């Protein structure tokens, strides 16, 4: 080894030891008689001291070293006179007796320190320098710890990691596929997996019983903020299980991850039906770190000649704690906020419950004090609270109120990143209607089984059929989702036909799965966790980018290797592409 210790491990216990360290020069300070250098590696930073009086030549040479030079340094550990409590090595320094420049470095394009002056693009272009910075490095180390903890848990529970292929077949369900042209089969294409879904089901038919894989998945979707075209899942499947078994197994996993990685006990996960989540929180991934639940005001407000409420499919309210004193300006600003095209509301109605007990609303013309009192009690509002009301088309209004609730939660500081509230959302609908394609789509995917008790609705009222499908939600983020699968060929065929596949299409696309179901498919089910998202949640970060070593930017580009990029005419010809 070129070193005896790392830059993160020496302490007062090591005083007087002769050591050799290797690392990068983070910064140096020349104080005349002494030159101080911070030497950095993956493990930390150690202060080096070059003394002008005792070793003038060495000190002179040290002054010439540039940022990010790679050094090998020999010296003796000494106690520091002015200690730095922020560094693990802050009690000591190295009195350098000799050093070797292992490599020089060009001037880095941004400062490689905790806080950097580099913008996003520059950081991504020089990601290898960005990763030298503590926050990015720590994010990647955290990711490795989460992966190791997941592997430990799953291995202990008897799961086997099986790799599934990356070059597979394009299918029409779900998002768009990335496709890869085949040179040996010209005019034909592989697709990259959006998930190993069908393979893990085939592994159950194959008798593997408990499968997992930490696996890359690819979806060619329009990139919304913080989406990556390639991402990682902890993908799992089990045989001979009920939904209950799956929920318990993976609740166990997430509890273990929190324990190992954060030292936090998250306790037992509550369960909420999809219907309740939609009613009380306005979405299927409720952030239950705070209340402020949605209240349907319709029955209380209709028929009083206020056209906006009378014409609305939904009139919904939340009560915001302690916000009765919001100024007119703040309320106008909130009104503009709900009118943004993303939410598209036409306005915001409010009612103040003053701390003196008075009640006043922006629609006083239509509703008197007695009515306001009913609203307040229906919304669980107390003196000092502000009730915010939206009205309009059902789906849009519920969504807007759900966003407004989260916004108010943010403004009131109720969404603390170090508080973790996890839950299961269960009983999702099997299907959702798409106006765009005028047909039913699988809400989860076409392999999800309907609840046996809703089976009779499949023919005549498919929208009412609930699925054996579940999501795990943490702090308003869907971190995992899965289902009990169909394992019967006839039911699977029926499902494909409901989704608008002809028998021939279904056979062409998914024949391999339905054929497999003829050879003794066990009842099975599974789940997949969004691994990048889970890591960013553990790290308390909003973005998943820093938890991915080499992420793509918002246009799906890798600006470091400059990809995607054109290929040569020759390459194209070879592939049969013109
Ligand atoms: N394959 C599904 C997904 O990627 C998860 C599952 O059903 O296990 O969302």
DSSP secondary structure string, 416-479?
Answer: -TT---EEEEE--BSEEEETTTTEEEESS-TTBPBPGGGGGGTTT-GGG-BBSEEEEEETTEEE
Q: Which atom of ligand 1 is nearest to the CA of 235?
A: 8
Question: Is residue 455 helix, strand or coil?
Answer: helix
pLDDT tens track for 347-356:
999 999 999 9
Beta strands 18-30 and 70-79 are: antiparallel
Torsion of CA 141, 538, 409, 291, to 10 degrees: 180
What crossing angle do the helices spanning 394-411 and 274-281 adopt, rounded to 10°?
70
* Interatomic CA distance for residues 52 and 539, integer angstroms: 43
Beta strands 189-191 and 179-181 are: antiparallel
Q: Is the CB of 469 under 6 A from ligand 1?
A: no
Q: Which atom of ligand 1 is nearest to the CA of 197?
A: 1
Distance of CA 380 from the midpoint of ligand 1 (Å): 38
* Interatomic CA distance for residues 23 and 4, integer angstroms: 12
* Interatomic CA distance for residues 160 and 236, integer angstroms: 10
Ligand 1, from 168, 193, 218, 233: best to mutate by most atoms within 8 Å of Cβ? 233
Q: Is the CB of 483 under 6 A from ligand 1?
A: yes
- What's the farthest any 2 CA atoms get from each other in the chain? 92
* Interatomic CA distance for residues 302 and 24, integer angstroms: 70
Question: Which has the closest alpha carbon to 358: 386, 383, 327?
Answer: 383
Q: Which atom of ligand 1 is nearest to the CA of 469?
A: 7
Question: Is residue 30 helix, strand or coil?
Answer: strand
* Interatomic CA distance for residues 239 and 174, integer angstroms: 24
Query: Above 70 in pLDDT, residue 514?
Result: yes
Contact 248, 234 (CB under 8 A): no
**Per the structure block, which two tokens stand in for 81?**
């006179």
The residue whose CA has the least distance to atom 4 of ligand 1 is 195
Beta strands 349-353 and 359-361 are: antiparallel
Position 175 scores a pLDDT of 86
Contact 145, 261 (CB under 8 A): yes
Domains along the chain? 12-103 (2.40.50.140), 138-272+423-547 (3.30.930.10), 290-415 (3.30.1360.30)
pTM of the model: 0.94
> 139-148, 383-392, 480-489, 496-505: which has the minimum mean pLDDT?
496-505
What's the distance, CA 401 to chain centroid? 22
Q: Which atom of ligand 1 is nearest to the CA of 237?
A: 8
**What's the sign of the alpha-carbon dihedral 433, 434, 440, 445?**
negative
Position 550 scores a pLDDT of 98
| Distant-in-sequence, close-in-space partners of 112: CB < 8 Å, separation ≥ 6 | 24, 26, 67, 68, 129, 130, 132, 133
Q: Is the CB of 195 under 6 A from ligand 1?
A: yes
The residue whose CA has the least distance to atom 8 of ligand 1 is 527
Cβ atoms < 10 Å from Cβ of 170: 15
DSSP code string of 95-162: EEEEEEEEE--PPPSS--SSS----HHHHHHTHHHHTTSHHHHHHHHHHHHHHHHHHHHHHHTT-EE-
* Interatomic CA distance for residues 237 and 219, integer angstroms: 21
Beta strands 210-218 and 477-484 are: unpaired
Q: How confident is the model at residue 435 (pLDDT cuts 50, 70, 90)?
A: confident
Share of the chain above pLDDT 90, in %: 94
Q: How confident is the model at residue 173 (pLDDT cuts 50, 70, 90)?
A: low
How many helices and strands (H and E) does the chain possess? 16, 22
pLDDT tens track for 17-56:
999 999 999 999 999 899 999 999 999 999 999 999 999 9
* Interatomic CA distance for residues 181 and 95, integer angstroms: 60
Q: Is the CB of 528 under 6 A from ligand 1?
A: yes
Q: Is the CB of 482 under 6 A from ligand 1?
A: yes
Ligand 1, from 528, 529, 534: best to mutate by most atoms within 8 Å of Cβ? 528
pLDDT tens track for 131-167:
999 999 999 999 999 999 999 999 999 999 999 999 9
Ligand 1, from 196, 526, 532, 534: best to mutate by most atoms within 8 Å of Cβ? 526
* Interatomic CA distance for residues 18 and 551, integer angstroms: 41
* Interatomic CA distance for residues 532 and 526, integer angstroms: 19
Q: Is the CB of 481 under 6 A from ligand 1?
A: yes
Distance of CA 195 from the midpoint of ligand 1 (Å): 7
Mean pLDDT, to the nearest integer, of 202-213? 98
């Amino acid at each position: 080894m070129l070193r005896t210790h790392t830059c993160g491990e020496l302490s007062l216990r090591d005083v007087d030891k002769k050591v050799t360290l290797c690392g990068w020069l983070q910064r140096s300070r020349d104080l005349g008689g002494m030159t101080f250098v911070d030497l950095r590696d993956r493990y930390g930073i150690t202060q080096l001291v070059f003394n002008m009086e005792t070793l003038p030549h060495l000190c002179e040479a040290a002054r010439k070293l540039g940022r990010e030079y790679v050094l090998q340094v020999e010296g003796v550990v000494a106690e520091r006179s002015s200690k730095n409590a922020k560094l693990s090595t802050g009690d000591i320094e190295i009195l350098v007796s000799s050093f070797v420049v292992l490599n020089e470095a060009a001037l880095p394009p941004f400062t490689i320190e905790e806080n950097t002056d580099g913008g996003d693009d520059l950081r991504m272009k020089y990601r290898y320098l960005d990763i030298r910075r503590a926050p990015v490095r720590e994010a990647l180390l955290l990711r490795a710890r989460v992966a190791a903890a997941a592997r430990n848990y799953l291995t202990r529970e008897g799961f086997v990691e099986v790799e599934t292929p990356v070059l597979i077949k394009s299918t029409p369900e779900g998002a768009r596929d990335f496709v890869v042209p085949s040179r040996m089969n010209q005019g034909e294409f592989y697709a990259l997996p959006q998930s190993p879904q069908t393979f893990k089901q085939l592994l159950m038919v194959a008798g593997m019983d408990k499968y997992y894989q930490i696996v890359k998945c690819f979806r060619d979707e329009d990139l919304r903020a913080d989406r990556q075209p390639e991402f990682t899942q902890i993908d799992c499947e089990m045989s001979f299980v009920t939904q209950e078994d799956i929920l318990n197994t993976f609740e166990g996993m997430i509890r273990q991850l929190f324990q190992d990685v954060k030292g936090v006990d998250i306790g037992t996960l509550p369960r909420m039906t999809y219907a309740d989540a939609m009613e009380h929180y306005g979405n299927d991934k409720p952030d239950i770190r705070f209340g402020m639940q949605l209240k349907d005001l319709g029955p209380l407000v209709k028929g009083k000649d206020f056209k906006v409420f009378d014409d609305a499919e939904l009139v919904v309210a939340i009560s915001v704690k302690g916000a009765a004193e919001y100024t007119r300006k703040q309320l106008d600003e909130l009104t503009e906020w709900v009118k943004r095209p993303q939410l598209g509301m036409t306005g915001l109605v409010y009612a103040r419950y003053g701390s003196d007990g008075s009640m006043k609303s922006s629609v006083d013309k239509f509703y008197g004090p007695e009515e306001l009192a009913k609203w307040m009690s229906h919304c669980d509002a107390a003196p000092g609270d502000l009730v915010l009301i939206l009205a309009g088309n059902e789906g849009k209004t519920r969504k807007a109120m759900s966003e407004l609730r989260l916004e108010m939660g943010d403004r009131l500081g109720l969404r603390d990143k170090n508080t973790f509230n996890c839950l299961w959302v269960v009983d999702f609908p099997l299907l959702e209607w798409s106006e765009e394609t005028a047909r039913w789509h699988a809400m989860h995917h076409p392999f999800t089984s309907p609840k046996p008790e809703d089976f009779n609705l499949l023919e005549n009222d498919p929208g009412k059929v609930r699925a054996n499908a579940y999501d795990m939600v943490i702090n308003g983020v869907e971190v995992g989702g899965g289902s009990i699968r169909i394992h019967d060929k006839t039911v699977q065929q029926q499902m494909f036909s409901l989704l608008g596949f002809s028998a021939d299409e279904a056979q062409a696309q998914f024949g391999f799965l339905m054929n497999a179901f003829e050879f003794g498919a066990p009842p099975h089910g599974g789940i997949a966790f969004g691994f990048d998202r889970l890591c960013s949640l553990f790290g308390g970060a909003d973005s998943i980018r820093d938890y991915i070593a080499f992420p793509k930017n918002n246009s799906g580009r890798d600006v470091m290797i400059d990809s995607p990029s054109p290929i040569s005419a020759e390459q194209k010809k070879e592939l049969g592409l013109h």
